[in-house]
Structure 1
Amino acid sequence: MEKIIYSPELTIPDTLLLRNLADDIQRHREIKGASSNVDRDEGYASTGSGRSAAQDAINKYGISEERDATDIQKLNGFNDPDSEDFEPTVISSLDLGDLQARLPAVVYQNVVLPYIAWARTVVRHDTDVIMLTHLIMYFTTSLPSAVWLFYHFTYLHGIFHFVMQFWYMGTYTLMMHQHIHMSGILAKRPLLRLFDTFFPYLTDPLMGHTWNTYFYHHVKHHHVEGNGPDDLSSTLRYQRDELLHFLHYIGRFLVLIWLDLPLYYLRKGKYVNAAKAAFWELSNYTAIYMMYRLNSRAAVFVFILPLTLMRIGLMVGNWGQHAFVDADEPDSDFRSSITLIDVPSNRYCYNDGYHTSHHLNPRRHWRHHPVAFLRQKETYATEKALVFHNIDYLMITVRLLRKDYAHLARCLVPIGPQIDLSLEERAEMLRRHTRKFGEEEIRVKFAGAGGGGEGEKKKE
C-alpha cells in the first residue's frame, strides 16, 4: 500500500484534498475486502448494505458524496470573503493563522490586519493580498538593486542580485501567469489599471521574461494547441525519459523561439499576432543589447543570466507538466497533463500544481483549483487523470531522466481504477505514457483536432 506523505508545509486546501483522496483509497479497499454488509465510512454516512450496495460502492472507488460535500463547503468558505472561514493569502511561506501565531499580538493587530484591509481594496480578488505584497517587495528590492548595479557595479553585488532574482523567479512567473490569463491582478480603477498594465515592462526583464512573449506563447499559443502536434512546446515527438531528447527540447526553445513563434502565427494566418510576437521579442533583445553597451557586466547579471535561467526553467517545468500522455486519448486535457499536490508548486507558485484544472479552464482563479478538482473528482478518475504528491515538476523531470519509475509510482496518488493497481503496474503505466509518438500516430490521433481558435480553450 502506498504511503501518503503530509508535509507540514502543504497549504490548507492541499492538506484537505490529500486527506480526502487518502480516505477514498482506504474506504475502497475496506469495502472491496468486505465479504458482506459494509458499514464503515470513517465517520461519514454509510455506503449502504447488501451485495448490490457494496458493489455500487466498489464501483465508486471509495468516493463519499457526503465527505466531498463537506470538504467542498470548507474550500468554498476559505475563498469566500463573506464566510467566517475566509482567509486571504498574505505571504507565500505562511498561512494567515501561522502568521498570527508567530507575530506579537500588537504587530498582528496594528500592522498585519490594517495592511490586509487596505490591500484588499487594491488587488482585484480579496484572496490575492499576496500579489500586492510581492509587488511591493519587487519594487523595493529588485528594481533599486538593478539600477544600482548599472550605477556602481561590483561582482559581489551582481552575484547577490542574481541569487535574489533566482529566488523570486518562480513566484513572480506564476503571479504573471495569473496576470496574463485574467488581464491584470489589481483592482479595475483608473490609476491601478494603468500601473497594472505597465509594471511588467519594468519587472519582466528583471525576472528573465521578454516583453509580452509569455502572453503570446502561453495564452495565445500553448492553450490553443494544448500540447498537440502544432504546439511549439509539445512533448509528443520526444521520448520523455531520454536525456538527449530533453536537451534537444530545451535547446530548440532557447535558440529558436524568437523565430518559431512568429512563424507559427504566420502558418495559422494570424499575421497581427506574428508581427506583435516578433516585435516584442526583438525589441526586448535590442533593449538588453543597449543596456549591455551601457554596462556589460551589470547587463549580464541583471538581464542575460535571468533570461537564460528562466527559459530553461520554463521548459523543464513544461516537460514535467506534459511528460505523461495517454496514447489512447492524447488530446484530452485529463490525459496529457497532471495534478500535483505538493509544496513548491502550490504554496509558492499560486497552485501551479493543478495543471489539469488550469487546462480545463485557463481563466480559473488560482485559489479555486483545489475545489474545482474536488467537484470533478469522479471525472478525473474515469478519465484516467494522474495525480502526484510529494514531488514537484522539476523532480518529476529529474526522476524521468533517471528512469526512476518506481519513485514516481510511489508519488502517485491513485484515483479510480488506479487504486487496484500494484506499485509495479503503476510504474509500468507511467512508463507507457512517456513514449515518443510517431508522425503517423499523431496524424491518426489528432485527426480533426487542432486548436485554431484565437482564445483559450475551456473544457469542463
Structure 2
Amino acid sequence: MEHIVYDPALTKADRLVLQNLAADIRAASQDSPSSNHFPKAAETSLDDEAVIDALNGFNNPKDARFEPTIITSVDADKISISPLFDTWIVPFYIRIARSLVRVETDVLVVSHLFLYFTTSIPSVLYLFHSFTWLHGVLHLILQFSYVGTYTLMMHQHIHMRGVLAKHMAWLDHTFPYVLDPLMGHTWNSYFYHHVKHHHIEGNGPNDLSSTLRYERDNIFHFLHYVGRFFFLIWFDLPTYFIRNGKFMLACKAAFWELSNYTAIYLLFRYNPRATFFALLLPLLLLRIGLMVGNWGQHAFVDRDDPDSDYRSSITLIDVPSNRHCFNDGYHTSHHLNPLRHWRQHPVAFVKGKQQYASQHALVFHNIDYLMMTVRLMLRDYETLAKCMVPLGDHISLTLEERAALLKRNTRPFTEEEIRAKYPKLAKN
C-alpha cells in the first residue's frame, strides 16, 4: 500500500478509480485507516456505487456534474484566466464546440483540430516556401509534442468512424488526409492495421504486432520486433489480408501505404530538406513509438490463458496515457469493447472490477507505456511491482512475489505452447 502514488495531474476519473482500488486493498489487507503506510488521499475514497455514479455524472450532458474535456492539460473547472474569459468566452466556446462533435464530452477534439490547423499547417507551408534548419528542428519538436494526443484522437476516430457531428462529416472525413502525414501516419494505414487486423487477432499468434514469441525484457527481441514492423509492415499487412481471403482489404492497405510513400518521394524531390523534417522524420519516429507502445500494452501475457483480453493486456492509471491520450491506459477495457467511447473506460473498469480481479488482470499506476518498456529493457521488476495496483488474489502477494509474477508473464511462448493455447488460430 505504501507504493501507491497520487499524481496531482491525474484526471478526476483516474483519481476516483485509484482511490477506489486503494480502499479495496486496505479492506482486503485489514489495514488500519490511520496507518502511516496508507496514502492519505484514499481516506476520502468512495465505494463502488458512489464512484460509478460520479463517473456517470461527469459523462452525462443532462447531469449537473457534467464536465466536457476542453483541453488535455487541465480539467474544465480548473480553467481560470480572467472573469470575462471564464464567465463568457469559455461557456460560449463550450456551447459551440459541443454542437460540432459527435459526443458532447469531446470539446477537446475541436480545440485540437483548431490548434493543428493554425500551427502545423502554416508551419509546414512556410517550411516548404522558405526552409531554414532552425525552423525545421522547431517544426519537428512541435509535431512531436502533438503526436501522442493526435494519434489517440485518431484512435477514437477510426473506431467510431469519426469524431465530429454528422453535419461536419465533410471535415471529419477529410482532415486525416491533411494532418495524418504531418504527424507521421500514412493514409488509412492505422485503420487497416489496428481495426481490421490487430483487433481481429488480439495479440494472438497471427497478429503481426503480437508479442507472444518474444522475450519482453530482452533488448534484442525488442529491436527485432520494432525492426520487423518498421521495415516490412508495408508488405506484411497486405499479405496477411491475402492469406485470410480478404483481397480487397489487401489492395486498399497496399494502395494507401504505397501512395503515401510516393507522395513523400515526390515532395522529397521537390524540396528534400523540408520533406525530411515535415514528413519523413515524423513517419520514422511514429513507427518506433507505435511499437514501443504496443510492446508495453502487451508485454505481460498470462502463461495459462494468453488468449484472454484480461490476461494479455493491461490497465494503466497514469497521466500521460489518460489525461493527454484519451484514456489510452485502459487498454484492457478497449480490447473488451473496441467501440467503447474513451470517456466511458473508467466507469466500465469500476463496473467490471470483480471480473478483472477474478481473471487476474494486471493494473498499474504512475507509469506509462513508454516507461513500461524502458523498465522492461532494464529488467527493473522491482519498480514495475511497485507500480502494480493489485486486484483480488494479487493483493496478498509480497513485492517480491509480484515481481516474480510479472517476470513470468514476459517469457516467450514456444511454437508448441502456441499450438496448445491457440489450436484454431496457430499455424501448423
- Shorter-chain TM-score bucket reads over 0.9
Pick the aligned partner of 1:95 from 65, 68, 75: 75
Residue 36 of structure 2 corresponds to none
Distance in 2 separating the partners of 1:281 and 1:193: 24
- Match of 1:186, SS? coil
Deviations, residues 135-187 of structure 1 (Å, cap 9, x unaligned): 00000000111111111100010000000000000000000000000000000
- Match of 1:97, SS? helix
- Match of 1:199, SS? helix
Distance in 1 separating the partners of 2:220 and 2:119: 39
- Match of 1:372, SS? helix
- Match of 2:27, SS? helix
Deviations, residues 385-405 of structure 1 (Å, cap 9, x unaligned): 000000000000000000000
Residue 66 of structure 2 corresponds to 86
- Match of 1:240, SS? coil
**Is 1:140–2:123 an aligned residue pair?**
no
**Is 1:123–2:101 an aligned residue pair?**
yes
Structure 1, gaps ≥5 residues long:
33-41, 45-63, 451-460
- Match of 2:99, SS? helix
Distance in 1 separating the partners of 2:419 and 2:3: 40
What is the correspondence of 1:236-247 to structure 2 with a 5 Å cutoff? Answer: 236-247=212-223
Residue 87 of structure 2 corresponds to 109
What is the correspondence of 1:19-418 to structure 2 with a 5 Å cutoff? Answer: 19-30=19-30, 67-99=47-79, 102-189=80-167, 192-418=168-394
Deviation at 1:448, TM superposition (A): 2.2
Deviations, residues 82-140 of structure 1 (Å, cap 9, x unaligned): 001100000000001111xx311111112111000000000111100000000000000
What is the correspondence of 1:432-451 to structure 2 with a 5 Å cutoff? Answer: 432-449=408-425
Deviation at 1:28, TM superposition (A): 1.1
Residue 15 of structure 1 corresponds to 15
Check the 8 A contact 2:205/2:425 in 1, yes or no.
no
Deviations, residues 364-409 of structure 1 (Å, cap 9, x unaligned): 0000000000000000000000000000000000000000000000
Deviation at 1:449, TM superposition (A): 4.8
Task: Tell me how many residue pairs correspond in the alignment.
Answer: 418
- Match of 1:127, SS? coil
Distance in 2 separating the partners of 1:110 and 1:295: 46
Distance in 2 separating the partners of 1:31 and 1:131: 43
Letter of the structure 1 residue corresponding to residue 124 of structure 2: A
Deviation at 1:262, TM superposition (A): 0.2
Letter of the structure 1 residue corresponding to residue 189 of structure 2: T
- Match of 1:164, SS? helix
Deviation at 1:43, TM superposition (A): 9.0
Deviation at 1:195, TM superposition (A): 1.0
Q: CA 1:371–1:449 in structure 2 vs 1: closer, same or farther (change >3 Å)? A: farther
Q: CA 1:95–1:43 in structure 2 vs 1: closer, same or farther (change >3 Å)? A: closer
Looking at CA atoms only, which structure, 1 or 2, has the larger radius of gyration?
Answer: 1
Deviation at 1:30, TM superposition (A): 1.3
Letter of the structure 2 residue corresponding to residue 220 of structure 1: K
Distance in 2 separating the partners of 1:383 and 1:242: 27
Letter of the structure 2 residue corresponding to residue 237 of structure 1: R
Letter of the structure 2 residue corresponding to residue 19 of structure 1: Q
Distance in 2 separating the partners of 1:156 and 1:108: 37
Distance in 2 separating the partners of 1:5 and 1:324: 22
- Match of 1:339, SS? strand
Distance in 2 separating the partners of 1:123 and 1:376: 28
Distance in 2 separating the partners of 1:167 and 1:147: 19
- Match of 1:327, SS? coil
Check the 8 A contact 2:305/2:421 in 1, yes or no.
yes
Deviations, residues 10-63 of structure 1 (Å, cap 9, x unaligned): 00000000000000000111189xxxxxxxxx999xxxxxxxxxxxxxxxxxxx
Letter of the structure 2 residue corresponding to residue 198 of structure 1: T
**What stretches of structure 1 move > 6 A for 4+ residues in a row?**
none
Distance in 1 separating the partners of 2:180 and 2:349: 31
- Match of 2:316, SS? strand
Letter of the structure 1 residue corresponding to residue 182 of structure 2: L
Check the 8 A contact 2:206/2:425 in 1, yes or no.
no
Distance in 2 separating the partners of 1:106 and 1:199: 32
Normalising by structure 2, we get a TM-score of 0.96
Distance in 1 separating the partners of 2:88 and 2:287: 42
Deviation at 1:324, TM superposition (A): 0.1
Deviations, residues 421-456 of structure 1 (Å, cap 9, x unaligned): 000000000000000110111011011257xxxxxx
